[in-house]
Chains A and B, each alone.
Chain A
Amino acid sequence: MLDAEKIREDFPLLRESKIIYFDNACTTQKPKQVVDAIVEYYTKYTACAGRSIHKLATKTTEEFEKAREKIARFINAKKSKEIVWTKNTTEAINLVVNSLKFERGEKVITTNLEHSSGLFPWLQLAKKEIVNLDFVLCNKEGEFNIKDFEDKIDEKTKLISIIFASNVTGTISPLKEIIKIAHENGALVLADGAQAVPHLPVDVKKLDVDFLAFSGHKMCGPTGIGCLYGKEDLLKELSPFILGGETVKDADLRSFELEDIPHRLEGGIQNYAGAIGFGVAVDYLTKIGMKNIEDYEKELAKLLIEGLLKIPNLTLIGPKDWRKKNALTSFNVKGIEPQDLAILLDEENIAVRSGMHCAYPFHKFINEKKGSVRASLYFYNTKEEIEIFIEKLRQIVKTLG
């Protein structure tokens, strides 16, 4: 069973400050092991990977590729070359949007629950009239009816782009069923896993997902590193939109021969320290166990949701049943603006997020035009922290609400 108190010893910020950090959907805290790995790269073997042949470069290449293998194992990818390094989830999604070949008139289906990263790149493509964009709408609680996907999909549909776990409602999309429908109709699926991969055991083979994008910094890794998982044959079909160093095998003035995947999709010097740190973060999560993390976070979600529901004038966004959610929820309090509530909680040393959470269409859909407050938890949060949070929130609402 997961011992959060013991785990917190690994996190310098959590150990040394009294802050209750409930903004994990934005970014997570980093354990000492990850910070040490980054420092080690910068102090003991700084060099380029895949280019020079001296000792330092060899060590960098080894560690860099080892990190790729760790990520592949973590999501149970068939081969490490199915992992492409990116800056973050946004870049991973943009890589698919800009590299996948579309025939004019082909359709992409997405939803109203998407993060800006999963929506705007498609809007841009639709604006250029390269694809037709269609939407499946979730209900007011952020849940999808699988039949809506069956109704929308047709022979023109090239791809379904969908958020795996919502960063507003905490709901998990029925990805397996959606993938089944897509594949039966000859379409691909791109899943935005930014809020799912850090919290659930994800097996890309079992899911049979075609592309999965996620970030390192939301799962104890450093910022500026993320990745795109893609099935080998599909990655080979992508036409790279960033070309440069390490992307080609051979070239002359008139032509070039592309490097194999994944390197052809990773133009220029990469974020080596970030990738190595991400690898260590994945080791750290694996050691704790993703199933343990999921179970513990369910306990936290239960306490959080039940506590919030007892506060008068508070509207929970998304389902009221904690079983349907990650340890993440957004809410609003009548008479208090979300930004004010976040600042008031910050004065009590509780860090939460306020605003639109990069999900403008969904907030407009549920008529919360000023956004909401979001509390998002991770495995190092404790039940005591939730109790303090609920009590402080209750006091604020009692006084100002």
Chain B
Amino acid sequence: MVICIIALIVFSVLGIFSMRWRKLAKEAFDCVFRPCVTKLDQRIKSKLTAKLMKRTPALARFTYKNFKVLSWIFTIAFFASLFYSAYGIFNLITYGSCEPGSPTCGISQTIYVISCYETQIVYGIIAILFMVFLYFGYKYLKFKE
């Protein structure tokens, strides 16, 4: 169910532009508020596992077995990211810098939507995903043997 919160927000935003996403947003809404009506979270879990199984079975297994924990991590990261983005944008509009007082945090007006904090979080997630990918890539090779 936790993953549906992200799905609800993301699909709601995308739903502004397309009917297809609106349907999914409705399903995500049901998943959050009426969990017995839909199995969206289960479908996300199984579809994700199925895609991963074709590339890295070990990662698929890890994802399947720890889906709840991963859902929580991604949800918390998502909201932290949202908060810091909003904070950065607020600073940018008010003070002209995403982190006033920090000389290293000059940000171009053209990419103002990404705050310093956001950038740091994104770099962090990319690094973690890269390490996870390396680890499971290695395990996959062993699995194939």
- Interface of A with B (CB < 8 Å)? 336-337, 339-340, 343-344, 347-348, 395-396, 399-400
List the B side residues contacting A400 at CB < 8 Å.
49, 53, 60-61, 64-65
List the B side residues contacting A340 at CB < 8 Å.
42, 45-46, 49, 64
**What residue of chain B has the Cβ atom nearest to residue A348's Cβ?**
B50
Nearest first, the 10 A-B pairs at minimum CB distance are A343-B46, A347-B50, A399-B57, A340-B46, A344-B50, A400-B64, A399-B61, A339-B42, A400-B61, A344-B46
A313 to chain B, nearest CB (A): 14
Are A339 and B46 neighbours in the complex by a CB distance under 8 Å? Answer: yes
B22 within 8 A of A: no
Are A399 and B42 neighbours in the complex by a CB distance under 8 Å? Answer: no
Task: Give 11 A-B contacts (CB < 8 Å), ordered by A residue.
Answer: A337-B42, A339-B46, A340-B64, A343-B42, A343-B50, A347-B46, A347-B51, A396-B53, A399-B53, A399-B61, A400-B53
> Binding site of A, secondary structure by majority: helix, strand, loop or mixed?
helix
CB-CB contacts below 8 Å: B17-57 with A: 39, 42-43, 45-47, 49-51, 53, 57
Instruction: Give CA–CA (A259, B77) in the complex, Å.
Output: 71
**What residue of chain A has the Cβ atom nearest to residue B42's Cβ?**
A339
Are A399 and B47 neighbours in the complex by a CB distance under 8 Å? Answer: no
A146 to chain B, nearest CB (A): 40
Instruction: Give CA–CA (A344, B50) in the complex, Å.
Output: 5
| Contacts A340-B42, A343-B46, A347-B47 supplied; 5 other A-B pairs, CB < 8 Å | A340-B45, A340-B46, A343-B47, A396-B53, A400-B64
A211 to chain B, nearest CB (A): 36
Are B53 and A344 neighbours in the complex by a CB distance under 8 Å? Answer: yes
**What residue of chain A has the Cβ atom nearest to residue B52's Cβ?**
A399
Choose among B39, B64, B65 the residue with the greatest number of A CB atoms under 10 Å from its CB: B64
Instruction: Give CA–CA (A347, B55) in the complex, Å.
Output: 14
List the B side residues contacting A336 at CB < 8 Å.
64
Are B39 and A344 neighbours in the complex by a CB distance under 8 Å? Answer: no
Are A344 and B49 neighbours in the complex by a CB distance under 8 Å? Answer: yes
CB-CB contacts below 8 Å: B75-131 with A: none
B145 to chain A, nearest CB (A): 14
Q: If A343-B46, A343-B47 touch, does A399 touch B39 (CB 8 Å cutoff)?
A: no
List the B side residues contacting A399 at CB < 8 Å.
53, 57, 60-61
List the A side residues contacting B53 at CB < 8 Å.
344, 395-396, 399-400
**What residue of chain A has the Cβ atom nearest to residue B57's Cβ?**
A399
Are B39 and A339 neighbours in the complex by a CB distance under 8 Å? Answer: yes
Instruction: Give CA–CA (A336, B60) in the complex, Å.
Output: 13
Instruction: Give CA–CA (A343, B48) in the complex, Å.
Output: 10
List the B side residues contacting A344 at CB < 8 Å.
46, 49-50, 53
**What residue of chain B has the Cβ atom nearest to residue A342's Cβ?**
B46
Are A343 and B57 neighbours in the complex by a CB distance under 8 Å? Answer: no
Choose among B46, B53, B65 the residue with the greatest number of A CB atoms under 10 Å from its CB: B46
Instruction: Give CA–CA (A174, B5) in the complex, Å.
Output: 51
B4 to chain A, nearest CB (A): 15
List the A side residues contacting B45 at CB < 8 Å.
340
Instruction: Give CA–CA (A316, B51) in the complex, Å.
Output: 27
B53 to chain A, nearest CB (A): 6
A239 to chain B, nearest CB (A): 39
Instruction: Give CA–CA (A339, B42) in the complex, Å.
Output: 8
**What residue of chain A has the Cβ atom nearest to residue B58's Cβ?**
A399
Instruction: Give CA–CA (A340, B61) in the complex, Å.
Output: 13
Instruction: Give CA–CA (A340, B49) in the complex, Å.
Output: 9
B41 to chain A, nearest CB (A): 11
Instruction: Give CA–CA (A339, B64) in the complex, Å.
Output: 13
**What residue of chain A has the Cβ atom nearest to residue B63's Cβ?**
A400
Are B60 and A343 neighbours in the complex by a CB distance under 8 Å? Answer: no
Instruction: Give CA–CA (A361, B50) in the complex, Å.
Output: 31
List the B side residues contacting A339 at CB < 8 Å.
39, 42, 46
Are A343 and B64 neighbours in the complex by a CB distance under 8 Å? Answer: no
Instruction: Give CA–CA (A395, B46) in the complex, Å.
Output: 15
A209 to chain B, nearest CB (A): 39
B136 to chain A, nearest CB (A): 12
Instruction: Give CA–CA (A400, B58) in the complex, Å.
Output: 9
**What residue of chain B has the Cβ atom nearest to residue A344's Cβ?**
B50
Q: If A396-B53, A399-B53, A400-B49 touch, does A343 touch B43 (CB 8 Å cutoff)?
A: yes
Instruction: Give CA–CA (A336, B50) in the complex, Å.
Output: 13
**What residue of chain A has the Cβ atom nearest to residue B44's Cβ?**
A343
List the A side residues contacting B46 at CB < 8 Å.
339-340, 343-344, 347
B144 to chain A, nearest CB (A): 12
A324 to chain B, nearest CB (A): 32
**What residue of chain B has the Cβ atom nearest to residue A335's Cβ?**
B65
List the B side residues contacting A337 at CB < 8 Å.
42
Instruction: Give CA–CA (A344, B39) in the complex, Å.
Output: 14
List the A side residues contacting B47 at CB < 8 Å.
343, 347
